[in-house]
């Protein structure tokens, strides 16, 4: 699929609309008390700050001409108190809004990660994992400034504009109207930039996603890269992606920074006109009530007038940037969970182990069937081996049994119960699965084995490890079961990782055990010892074993040969050899 490539831009399937901003407000709503407190604090601070230019006017027009030193000192002291209150208010605002912003970021990221835990395998099959990771980390982080400061600052500055305009009109309506002449020009400019700026940030997020996807892929495949001496070629690909991201980021930032200079230009021009008109009024005897004090105070208000405009412009920039990320964040959260509990789902009763597939059809992609009308019955305690060529659908069968995917049609029954009608958690907790990819998590070996059964004791962990012949090599490591292993178990051999994963599956004590290529990376000597433990483990337990090495499945009750979307033949090892069919040919190809 096109989306499953690092060099293909993502297509946002859910375009932005105003409802997404409302959803963002829903994340803010639990903190409305703190936000309101900060807002009141900042409004009171800003309101009091509006009197400072007025104090300057009074001093210039009255107290200084009258040489009223006492009044000047009192007014200066009052101004000092207002400034101190403003400093304390700003400090409180920074503390509160930073914490609130990070709490909101945490909640959004928690919602994304929780939803990712529930999405089916098909979601991850279609996307580079780096493109998923960038949404959880980078995109959410980029909302931080908007949530921490942008909203409060913008509301405060909008109110400041109202306060400033009231004071400015009270001082000189004529000069105020001159100041406002620049606003229509700014609005036209903003409209002109909007579409270009929004598109630029969408492109930037795409390029960031592509780069992140390739970095993640390269790290996971570093052994193959070095083995095939692909470093230089990979550097070329990385540089191309990095330069694309750089260019997209520079263009997006160019549009962001295009707003500030325009505000400054309009501010400078209007201020110049105000000086010309104001000085002219003063020369002509204070026409329109413009005095030296009024002009000085008014120019102070002008700088205060354009500062909120700058803040609002910055918020507008941040909002357009945030929109490009919100589209992808909410798209991830809204991704449908295709494999989920039915509305009337019930808990799966304790599993005995009877399994039936009834006319099951399944495909990963429309028009490309993997299983075609597959039916079979397994009795409690039986061991079923599934063999066949690569891509025939062996792993698909056990994935459907674990309900990692939904069937297209037909039914999968356990003890006569349709598994699509039961709660997924209650089903999977009674099943043990060891997949073909033996994934090891960072932590101790003990933690990795206990991963599927948190209540297991150390003795139970060790017993499971002994059963699968992992105990000896674990005890040879520096800290035994407390030895720290790296992510994906890079310190362990492939065989050791499989044995640990095997012990993890066994420790869950499942009613149904699924082993997908469980012994593919174990040496022949270990396999012989392991087989003894397996025979004891499989007694009384329904088991499905997928294997290419036929020596591990000779004792299975039934061997099913899967090919071309169906069961070609089924029977015991001896029966299938006697039939001299597909299984016979496979067996002879390995042991001739």
Per-residue pLDDT tens for 110-157?
998 898 888 887 788 777 778 888 888 878 887 876 776 677 777 777
pLDDT at 528: 66
pLDDT at 506: 80
User: 219-233, 366-380, 463-477: which has the minimum mean pLDDT?
Assistant: 219-233
Grade residue 414 by pLDDT with cuts at 50, 70 and 90: very high
pLDDT at 1: 35
| Cα separation, 209 vs 255, whole angstroms | 21
Grade residue 287 by pLDDT with cuts at 50, 70 and 90: low
For residues 70-76, give the mean pLDDT: 86
Residues 438-509: name the CATH superfamily: P-loop containing nucleotide triphosphate hydrolases (3.40.50.300)
User: 111-125, 135-149, 303-317, 515-529: which has the minimum mean pLDDT?
Assistant: 515-529
Alpha helices (runs of H) in 59-182, residue ranges in sequence order: 64-66, 69-118, 121-125, 129-134, 140-141, 144-145, 151-171, 173-180
User: 35-44, 255-264, 440-449, 552-561: which has the minimum mean pLDDT?
Assistant: 255-264
| Cα separation, 104 vs 143, whole angstroms | 9
* 3-state secondary structure at position 569: strand
Domain 438-509 in the same topology as domain 350-430+514-592: yes
Q: Which CATH architecture group holds 15-333? A: Up-down Bundle (1.20)
Which range has highest mean pLDDT (9-23, 118-132, 313-327, 461-475)?
461-475
Per-residue pLDDT tens for 211-232?
888 888 887 777 778 777 888 8
For residues 25-35, give the mean pLDDT: 87
CB 453 within 8 A of CB 508: yes
Quote the mean pLDDT of the chain. Answer: 82
Domain ranges of the chain: 15-333, 350-430+514-592, 438-509
- Number of helices and strands (H, E) in the chain? 25, 12
In this predicted structure, the answer to whether residue 14 has a pLDDT above a threshold of 60 is no
pTM attached to this predicted model:
0.69
User: 142-151, 261-270, 452-461: which has the minimum mean pLDDT?
Assistant: 142-151
* 3-state secondary structure at position 377: strand
Choose the CATH number for 350-430+514-592 among 3.40.190.10, 1.10.540.10, 3.40.50.300, 1.10.3210.50: 3.40.50.300
């Amino acid at each position: 699929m096109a989306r499953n490539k690092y060099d293909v831009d993502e297509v946002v399937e859910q375009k932005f609309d105003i409802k997404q901003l409302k959803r963002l407000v829903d994340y803010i709503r639990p903190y409305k008390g703190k936000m309101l407190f900060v807002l009141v604090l900042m409004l009171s601070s800003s309101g009091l700050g509006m009197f400072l230019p007025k104090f300057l006017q009074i001093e210039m027009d009255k107290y200084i001409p009258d040489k009223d030193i006492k009044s000047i000192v009192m007014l200066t002291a009052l101004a000092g108190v207002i400034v101190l209150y403003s400093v304390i208010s700003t400090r409180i605002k920074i503390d509160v809004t930073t914490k609130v912003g990070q709490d909101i970021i945490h909640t959004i990221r928690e919602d994304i990660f929780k939803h990712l835990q529930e999405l089916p395998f098909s979601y991850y099959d279609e996307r580079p994992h780096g493109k998923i990771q960038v949404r959880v980390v980078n995109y959410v982080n980029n909302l931080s400034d908007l949530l921490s400061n942008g909203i409060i600052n913008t509301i405060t500055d909008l109110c400041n504009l109202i306060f400033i305009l009231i004071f400015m009109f009270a001082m000189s309506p004529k000069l105020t109207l001159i100041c406002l002449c620049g606003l229509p020009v700014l609005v036209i400019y903003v409209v002109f930039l909007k579409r270009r700026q929004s598109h630029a940030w969408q492109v930037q997020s795409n390029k960031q996603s592509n780069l992140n996807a390739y970095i993640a892929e390269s790290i996971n495949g570093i052994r193959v890269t070095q083995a095939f001496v692909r470093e230089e070629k990979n550097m070329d690909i990385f540089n191309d992606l990095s330069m694309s991201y750089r260019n997209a980021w520079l263009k997006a930032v160019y549009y962001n920074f295009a707003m500030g200079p325009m505000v400054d230009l309009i501010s400078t021009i209007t201020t110049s006109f105000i000086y010309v008109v104001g000085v002219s009024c003063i020369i002509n005897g204070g026409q329109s009530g413009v005095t030296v004090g009024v002009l000085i105070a008014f120019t102070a208000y002008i700088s205060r007038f354009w500062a909120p405009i700058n803040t609002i412009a910055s918020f507008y920039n941040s909002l357009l940037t945030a929109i490009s990320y919100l589209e992808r964040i909410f798209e991830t959260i809204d991704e449908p969970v295709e494999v989920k509990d039915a509305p009337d789902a019930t808990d799966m009763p304790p599993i005995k182990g009877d399994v039936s597939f009834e006319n099951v059809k399944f495909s990963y992609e429309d028009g490309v069937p993997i299983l075609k009308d597959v039916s079979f019955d397994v009795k409690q305690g039986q061991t079923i081996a599934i063999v066949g060529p690569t891509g025939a659908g062996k792993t698909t069968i056990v994935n459907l049994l674990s309900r990692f995917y939904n069937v297209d049609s037909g039914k999968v029954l356990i003890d006569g119960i349709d598994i699509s009608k039961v709660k997924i958690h209650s089903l999977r907790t009674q099943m043990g699965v060891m997949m073909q990819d033996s994934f090891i998590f960072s932590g101790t070996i003990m933690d990795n084995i206990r991963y599927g059964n948190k209540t297991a004791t150390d003795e139970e962990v060790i017993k499971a490890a002994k059963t699968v012949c992992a105990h000896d090599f674990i005890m040879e490591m520096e800290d035994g079961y407390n030895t720290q292993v790296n992510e994906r178990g890079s310190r362990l051999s492939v065989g050791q990782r499989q044995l640990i994963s095997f012990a993890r599956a066994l420790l869950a004590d499942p009613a149904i055990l699924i082993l997908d290529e469980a012994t593919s990376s174990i040496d022949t000597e270990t396999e012989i010892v392991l087989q003894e433990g397996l025979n004891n483990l499989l007694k009384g337990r329904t088991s499905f074993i997928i294997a290419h090495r036929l020596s591990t499945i000779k004792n299975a009750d039934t061997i099913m040969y899967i090919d071309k979307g169906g069961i070609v033949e089924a029977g015991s090892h001896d029966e299938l050899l006697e039939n001299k069919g597909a299984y016979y040919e496979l067996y002879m190809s390995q042991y001739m």
